[in-house]
Amino acid sequence: AGIYSLVGNAAADFAGPAEILSLLIAMLPAFFTALSYAEMASMIPASGSSYTYIYTVLGEFCAWLVGWNLCLEYMGAASAVSVSWANHVGSFIELVSSASIDHRLLSAPVSWNATAQNFYLTGSWICLPAVIVILVLTAIIIYDLDTSSLLISIIVILKIVILLIFICVCIKYIDPKNYHPFLPKSEGGNTYGIKGLLHATTISFFAFIGFDEITTAAQEATTEAARLLPLSILISLGIATILYLGVASVMLGVVNYKDLKVPNPIAEVCKVIGLKWLQVIVHLGAILGLTSVILVTLYVQSRIFYSMSKDGLLPPVFSKIKLWKKKKTVVNNITFSSSTTTTTTIETNTTIATVEPTITITGNIHETNKPTGSPVWASIAIGW
């Protein structure tokens, strides 16, 4: 979902057209991290992702730290994405009709002022669309896991098709002059220059994070999970890399990078070239993308709770499985994930919640291979 805002904003604020290069650089550590996850998934095809891997190799204390970091990451992500979803829906309604949503229903009544370091009243009532989408998607997950899986698959296909349409339509509007200067001169701080490129690279790295969620529900996969999970991780990373590079190249070629400092840069590109139908499709793609992120995040969060509870690090109620439509469902976990997501204070800086499990998994691989002194064969790591 970050493809709709991250690329354009990073280019406008930090790297200019060199954001394309920052994506390539960021892809390398993401690739090596994916290999670590792929290797662990082939050896331990169980639910819980990095929490389970670290619990197995490094012990309970390290797993406890990583587990709670994952909880912070997923709850914060679902909260932030649901608010972004609400704003995109508001923009979409205004784009396709004369109607609009009251702005007091599109944000929380209380927010945080990072400069003054205090909370303040926004004048809004509640971010109602965000609450509604969380409740609806929670109901879908509880109702039928197969239905939610099918919904995710359909959404993913649609948003990939929409991005490919955007690339194919806009490629003829590329003006090579927009790529110059490729790396603008430094304007101080992290704005442009080498420092800006490096800062954009750190931001771009998180564009590729998400493959770890594939391993969270490994226990519910097929009997070939040990082979399919590593393949899924690397294929998903490959697809994400191609799409990000394609969208970035087209976006930065069509408009000047300074014009991309907007909430939805891709939609801004469509507006500049005067194609309203493409603008509508792109807005729809953003909404679909954000919907799938919320759905997956809620689902993954419940599985982390389940794994931690099963190991005794959370109360037993979170590992209680109930029969729903003759299928086993962790209703308590899904409901709790939903309630915490709608009430969590969204912080702008939750980087540590993502970085800490990623770093620990790499160390986990080293510790796993330490007794034998040799790594797992690459053919096993990639699932063949």
Encode pLDDT of 223-262 as tens digits: 676 777 788 888 888 999 999 999 999 999 999 999 998 8
**Predicted confidence (pLDDT) at residue 120 exceeds the cutoff of 90:** no
The answer to whether 261 and 12 are in contact (CB under 8 A) is: yes
DSSP per residue over 92-141, as a string? HHHHHSS----GGGSS-SEEEETTTTEEEE-S----HHHHHHHHHHHHHH
Q: Cα Rg for the chain, rounded, in angstroms?
A: 21
Q: Is the separation of the CB atoms in 162 and 3 below 8 Å?
A: no
Contacts of 336 (CB under 8 A, 6+ apart): 302, 305, 318
Has residue 342 got a pLDDT over 50?
Answer: no
**The predicted structure's pLDDT at residue 58:** 80
Burial 291-306 (b: 16+ CB within 10 A, else e): bbbbbbbbbbbbbbbb
Residue 135 pLDDT greater than 90, yes or no: no
pTM: 0.80
**Would you tell me how many other CB atoms lie within 10 Å of the CB of residue 331?**
17
Look at 73-77, 130-134, 342-346, 371-375 and tell me which has the smallest mean pLDDT.
342-346
Q: 165-199 pLDDT, tens per residue?
A: 999 999 999 999 999 999 999 888 888 999 999 98
Superfamily the domain 2-75+154-381 falls into: Amino acid/polyamine transporter I (1.20.1740.10)
Report domain extents, the chain.
2-75+154-381
With tokens 């970035």, the residue in question is: 248
Burial grade of 137 (CB within 10 A; 0-12, 13-18, 19 or more): buried
Q: Please report the pLDDT score of residue 378 as a whole number.
A: 44
Structure tokens given for 350 = 């939750």
27, 208 in Cβ contact below 8 A? yes
What pLDDT score was predicted for residue 245? 94
* Residue 239 C-alpha from the chain's centroid: 14
Q: Which two tokens stand for residue 288?
A: 């679909």
Q: Mean of the per-residue pLDDT values for the chain? A: 79
Dump pLDDT digits (tens) for 43-81: 777 777 788 888 888 888 888 888 888 877 777 777 778
List the structure tokens of 113: 């002022």
Helix residue ranges, H only, the chain: 6-10, 19-43, 50-57, 60-96, 128-143, 145-170, 193-205, 225-254, 265-272, 276-310, 331-343, 351-369, 378-381
